[in-house]
Amino acid sequence: MQNARREELGVKRVHHDLKAWQEAMSLVKMIYESTNSFPAEENFGLKSQIRRAAVSIPSNIAEGAARTGSKEFLQFLSISRGSLSEVETQLLIAKDLVTNPQSWSSFWQDIFHDLCKPFPVK
């Protein structure tokens, strides 16, 4: 949904303007698309765990932005950063256990590169 469309529907929120939230939403989409190729036996294992951790990143940013105090917001950003590290670790596990290392695509390498960037706040 585009920002203009959100405003039309009256659902514009402060977190929609945060670069960290926008990038986290993009990461969730990338994770969902890329984990589709995981073997069926991972549907309730690593695939599910990676997806849940990825979803918690923008969710915690949004929840923190909705809080009234800056200390609370910073706490939720810290939780989001923890979830980001969890996703990174799980992707490393997936690289070694689930996917064929020879087929480790540049797509996954791009995800790792993005995860290593400083966490954007503005």
Q: What are the boundaries of each domain within the chain?
A: 3-115
Average pLDDT, the chain: 80
Three-state DSSP class for 117?
Answer: coil
Q: At residue 35, does pLDDT exceed 60?
A: yes
Query: Can you give the pLDDT at residue 104?
Result: 54
CATH of 3-115, one of 3.40.50.300, 1.20.1440.60, 3.30.70.20, 3.40.50.740: 1.20.1440.60
Going by C-alpha positions, the residue among 82, 45, 79 that lies closest to residue 64 is 79
Q: At residue 29, does pLDDT exceed 90?
A: yes
Determine if the pTM surpasses 0.85.
Answer: no
pLDDT-derived band at 113 (thresholds 50, 70, 90) equals low
Which pLDDT tens digit goes with each residue over 52-93? Answer: 999 999 999 999 999 888 899 999 999 999 999 999 888 888
